[in-house]
Structure 1
């Protein structure tokens, strides 16, 4: 039996990141254009392979045009040189019940590092249109500086303007491909 291919349903998925600002509040941003693909041995979403996530850097939105422009600049993502964030899964590990760890290689700004994300498997359902869908909540944390996003500023009082830790959160719905 051939592997089952899955692709993201972008209208029922979202990818966001959260960063502390001045260490007192959190700013949330989104990637508005992204892709997720995977293959499985069967429709039960057991042992997925070829898990690939990409996000278009130019699609970053924090609901502030000036901040978005700064994030796309060479100070941060350098979208002109590195227009895509990419994660390639290497291992999908059950850690109990519907909880998994997705291990892989994350590439941001040309820097590739191992990364692990928590995955909560929401299940599989056939929608009213006959499409088989699988749902996931993905979360994790990375150090932006490890990926070359090293811009920093300090307030007069010595507080950091932008934290190194970036929390990632995604709601992903995949559709079985015909």
Structure 2
């Protein structure tokens, strides 16, 4: 019997990190996102659906000017591509460690990626809800998804690195 799991947004976060001027790292978040997982049991290796979306307009890097630039056509082009989407294809578990293979779509460009997953476990909370926790991490090339804007300093350094590190703390709730 299929089990549906939905994101618990109050106990989840979606974070990205990028090098700025190649000397410091800037951290950003997507504040609005959704995730639905369908499994055959409490074993997530049985997942038949893993679908994640994030609202581009919810980007928050703690700097409004930078956020506006990230939402512009130079980067995510939020007016034409309001969401990024990840569709999981295969969850390969090895104990509490796993690899999640799937397709990531940003700016209308879809590429296969593999994410590292650390399974935190399944518990029943004080309200009787069954929850599962995961730490998800990985790296992507922003340029592969059409986020090619960059500038060069007088000294020849790039302003924004190509590599984006992704880190997510995810808690899902089993639906009745």
Q: Using the alignment, how far apart are the partners of 2:41 and 2:54 within structure 1?
A: 27
Deviation at residue 155 of structure 1 after TM alignment: 0.2
Q: Please name the residue that 1:151 is paired with.
A: 149
Q: Using the alignment, how far apart are the partners of 2:44 and 2:110 within structure 1?
A: 27
Q: Please name the residue that 1:72 is paired with.
A: 71
Q: Using the alignment, how far apart are the partners of 2:161 and 2:44 within structure 1?
A: 36
Q: Please name the residue that 1:17 is paired with.
A: 16
Deviation at residue 46 of structure 1 after TM alignment: 3.8
Matches within 5 A, 1:96-175: 96-175=94-173
Q: Please name the residue that 2:38 is paired with.
A: 39
User: Which aligned segments of 4 or more residues in structure 1 are displaced greater than 3 angstroms?
Assistant: none
For structure 1, which runs of at least 5 residues remain unmatched after alignment? none
For structure 2, which runs of at least 5 residues remain unmatched after alignment? none
> SS at the partner of 2:164?
strand
> SS at the partner of 2:16?
strand
Q: Using the alignment, how far apart are the partners of 2:61 and 2:136 within structure 1?
A: 20
Q: Is the CA contact 1:44–1:124 (under 8 Å) kept in the aligned structure 2?
A: no
Q: Using the alignment, how far apart are the partners of 2:20 and 2:43 within structure 1?
A: 41
Q: Using the alignment, how far apart are the partners of 1:110 and 1:13 within structure 2?
A: 25
Deviation at residue 161 of structure 1 after TM alignment: 0.3
Q: Is the CA contact 2:45–2:92 (under 8 Å) kept in the aligned structure 1?
A: no
Deviation at residue 120 of structure 1 after TM alignment: 0.3
TM-score normalised per structure 2: 0.98
Q: Using the alignment, how far apart are the partners of 2:175 and 2:159 within structure 1?
A: 44
Cα deviation, 1:130-173, whole Å, max 9, x if unaligned, reads 00000000000000000000001000000010000000000000
Deviation at residue 42 of structure 1 after TM alignment: 1.1
Q: Aligned Cα RMSD in Å?
A: 0.7
Q: Please name the residue that 1:90 is paired with.
A: 89
